Amino acid sequence: MIFILLCALMALAPPSKVRAYDTPNDGGGSVTIEWQISPDDKELIGYQIYRSEDGEIYEKVGFIGPGRTRIEDETQDGPEYIYKVAAVQDTIRSYSDPSPPVMSRAHLVDRTKTNVFVSLLVFGAIILYFTYAARKGKEMFIRKIAGLQAVDDAVGRATEMGKPILYCPGIGYIEDIATIASLNILGEVAKKCAQYDTKLINPNRDPIVYTVAREIIKESYSSVGRPDSFDPDNVYYVTDSQFAYAAALDGVMIRERPATNFLVGWFRAESLILAETGASTGAIQIAGTDQVSQLPFFVTACDYTLIGEELYAASAYISKEPLLLGAIKGEDWGKFFIGIVLIIASIIGLLTTFPILGLFR
Amino acid sequence: MKRTFPLILVFVFGILGIIPFFVPHPVVQNADEFLRNEFLRILVAFALVLGLGSLLKVHIDKIKRKRENWQYSWILIISFLISAIIGLFGGVGGTGILPTTIGSFQFDIWTIYWNVVMPLGSTMFALLAFFMASAAYRAFRARSTEATLLLAAAFVVMLGVLPLGDRISPHLPSFAQWIMDVPNVAGQRGILFGVALGALATALKIILGIERSWLGGGRE
């Protein structure tokens, strides 16, 4: 009798209120198990999670440390599962009651991203509104961007000097938004080169970017009525290797001595190698990237640098296309709206943080 | 039609790119996976043939016309052909039909990569140290207020991370860290904020056909 009482006193209390449910907002194949910790939690080495399909034979599917109350289990969609959680202390196990049966399934919508979806709609609506206003003839003001104002001068300088222009779209792939923005700028630069009959050299690092760049330049030459001036040999693929590409571009800069270098797109460590080599040849350099870590190198070694969003606004700025300017206006209003939200959120945050203003908590 | 068809393609594939972000269902995710990996890989294979064709054409043309430094083009073409033959017939790690070992000398594609391509890349990367020194010299010439501020901030940060900084003042390392953590991060976040919205706006403009510079510009 005393032995039984001692055993009862020494027995571990199991975790309670075990609840298993289909993990929400996922693509299926997952069940979330939650429980209330054992009253003896501090003495445990952790919790073992057991799973059964028939309620009789359980298999161990997970282990988690003490103090934890939640775990996700990988499952197959379709069958129903029952879970038990065991408190573990050395070789002792104390099992909870089984959970109600649960079945995992794939969800159609991830509701945690509703805020992103709403923001996307609002932002898209603002852009569309200003594009529509621009189509109706509303004048749009856009602040001066020194780097883009210099494009005309840079092309003119190359024409006067009889030297080529080098356009490097970076080492990004076609799916990188900076590469896409760079290709948009390339179209406008190519038009100006075609108008002035200036040689445009465009070496590429990615084969898909190369094919797209070639078509863009070809179309730009055609759109200004100079298809005959397009030389396909000036647009070429070099290599997929980052530093071999940098070496090849350095070679072009040293041999061809371009009057202007455009270094616009997605860059990594080769940015400074390219920009410094270009600076040493005396070329005007217009750079642009959305890679924050590479911006200081460009700012240091180039004459003009398009910082972040200026890169995306560039094609609209150069082309002066009203619809594109309208979209930039919409972009600015979107930023203004988000800025206001951030300021309000910061004020609320401050009001609830200062002890003296704890009244607002 | 020449312009309409690409615009339709961009709209459809652009929307198909957005949907998987919001829909976790395996049908959508698998289709997205197929488009991004399998389909794109097939496109890359075709584009690579075009790219390599253009590379060879440019260098063959250079040799034919005896342009400046045309001799180097021979090196490129010969290296290209040798590595292509070894890669195609020698297999990775020398497991193909072409023997890639003569005595203890190995020349399979993996060996070539590790012993030629990698050291050459590392050499270019190493040059960065020298370029950084010359760029720093250019940046730190206190010619304007901004350059002076840059010089002062860099001086404090550099001094702060050195043992000497702690000897000068025990507060210097924490002040240097504050510069890195507060003004520096604030500036970076400002840029990233603009980048995120700019990227979203650019994507929307291209998907909706407002931005057409990639088509050579202009309207229908």
pLDDT tens for each residue of A292-338? 999 989 988 999 999 988 898 888 888 778 888 888 888 888 888 88
How close A16 comes to chain B (CA, Å)? 32
Q: Which are the contacts of A168, defined by CB distance < 8 A and separation ≥ 6?
A: A202, A203, A249, A261, A262, A263, A264, A265, A274
pLDDT reading at B22 higher than 80: yes
Phi, psi angle pair for A108, to nearest 5°: -80, -35
How close B112 comes to chain A (CA, Å)? 14
Residue A313: the pLDDT is 87
Phi, psi angle pair for B134, to nearest 5°: -70, -35
Q: Read off the pTM.
A: 0.82
How buried is B126 (Cβ within 10 angstroms: 0-12 exposed, 13-18 middle, 19+ buried)? exposed
Q: How far apart are CA B138 and CA B51, in angstroms?
A: 37
pLDDT reading at A7 higher than 60: no
pLDDT tier at A4, thresholds 50, 70, 90: low
Contacts 24+ apart (CB under 8 A), B161-165: none
Q: Which of A77, A21, A105 is nearest to B24 (CA)?
A: A105
Do residue B101 and residue B160 come from a single domain? no
The model's pLDDT over A96-136, given as tens digits with 9 standing for 90+, comes to 999 999 999 999 999 999 999 998 898 889 888 988 888 88
Residue B81: the pLDDT is 94
Q: Which of B124, B127, B82, B76 is nearest to B100 (CA)?
A: B82
The model's pLDDT over B50-98, given as tens digits with 9 standing for 90+, comes to 889 988 998 999 999 998 889 999 999 999 999 999 988 988 777 888 8
Tokens of B198: 């700019």
End-to-end CA distance of chain B: 9
Q: How far apart are CA B201 and CA B198, in angstroms?
A: 5
pLDDT reading at A69 higher than 90: yes
Please name the amino acid found at residue A295.
Answer: L
With H, G, I as helix, E, B as strand and everything else as coil, classify residue A240: coil
pLDDT (average), residues A22-39: 95
The model's pLDDT over A184-229, given as tens digits with 9 standing for 90+, comes to 899 989 999 999 999 999 999 999 899 999 999 999 999 999 999 9
Residue B73: inside a domain, yes or no? yes
How close B74 comes to chain A (CA, Å)? 15
pLDDT (average), residues A11-24: 93
pLDDT (average), residues A12-18: 93
Q: Are A202 and A165 within 8 A, CB to CB?
A: no
Q: How many CA atoms lie within 13 A of B168 on its CB side?
A: 14
Do residue B26 and residue B59 come from a single domain? yes
Q: How far apart are CA A21 and CA A35, in angstroms?
A: 12
Number of domains in chain B: 4
pLDDT reading at A63 higher than 70: yes
Residue B200: the pLDDT is 86
Residue B220: inside a domain, yes or no? no
Q: What architecture (CATH level 2) is domain A143-320? A: 3-Layer(aba) Sandwich (3.40)
pLDDT reading at B202 higher than 90: no
Residue A353 vs residue A153, higher pLDDT: A153
Q: How far apart are CA B79 and CA B83, in angstroms?
A: 6
With H, G, I as helix, E, B as strand and everything else as coil, classify residue A245: helix
Is B67 at the interface with chain A, CB within 8 A?
Answer: no
Domain locations in chain A as residue ranges = 13-95, 143-320
Domain boundary residue, one of B106, B122, B139? B139
Q: Across the A/B interface, how many CB contacts are shorter than 8 Å?
A: 211
- Domain of B35 in residue numbering reads as 1-67
Domain boundary residue, one of B44, B67, B90? B67
Burial letters A80-95, b for 16+ CB under 10 A, else e: ebbbbbbbbeeeeebb
Q: How far apart are CA A123 and CA A334, in angstroms?
A: 6
Domain boundary residue, one of B51, B67, B83? B67
pLDDT (average), residues B25-29: 95
Q: Are B220 and B4 within 8 A, CB to CB?
A: yes
Contact residues, B window 84-143, toward A, CB-based 8 Å cutoff: 117, 120-125, 127-128, 131-132, 134-136, 138-139
Do residue B20 and residue B59 come from a single domain? yes
Q: How many CA atoms lie within 13 A of B40 on its CB side?
A: 15
What does the mean pLDDT of chain A come to? 89
pLDDT (average), residues B192-198: 86
Strand A92-95 and strand A82-89: the pairing is antiparallel
Percentage of chain A surpassing pLDDT 70? 95
pLDDT reading at B220 higher than 50: no
Q: ipTM score here? A: 0.84
In B, which residues are within 8 Å of A208 by CB distance? 43-44, 47
Q: How far apart are CA A273 and CA A331, in angstroms?
A: 33
Q: Output the CATH code of domain A13-95.
A: 2.60.40.10
pLDDT reading at B217 higher than 70: no
CA quadruple A350, A352, A353, A355: dihedral sign: positive
Do residue B20 and residue B37 come from a single domain? yes
With H, G, I as helix, E, B as strand and everything else as coil, classify residue B209: coil
Residue B196: the pLDDT is 87
Nearest to B135 among A301, A319, A334 (CB): A301
Residue B218: inside a domain, yes or no? no
Do residue B3 and residue B54 come from a single domain? yes
Q: Which are the contacts of A289, defined by CB distance < 8 A and separation ≥ 6?
A: A170, A178, A263, A264, A265, A266, A267, A271, A295, A298, A306, A311
Instruction: Dump strand ranges (E) for A224-295.
Output: 235-237, 260-266, 284-289
Q: Say if the Cβ atoms of A324 and B210 lie within 8 Å.
A: yes
Tokens of A324: 């594109």
Residue A265: the pLDDT is 95
pLDDT (average), residues A150-157: 89
Q: How far apart are CA A286 and CA A208, in angstroms?
A: 24
Q: Say if the Cβ atoms of B201 and A328 lie within 8 Å.
A: yes
pLDDT reading at B121 higher than 80: yes
Q: Say if the Cβ atoms of A208 and B198 lie within 8 Å.
A: no
pLDDT tier at B208, thresholds 50, 70, 90: confident
Residue B219: inside a domain, yes or no? no
How close A261 comes to chain B (CA, Å)? 17
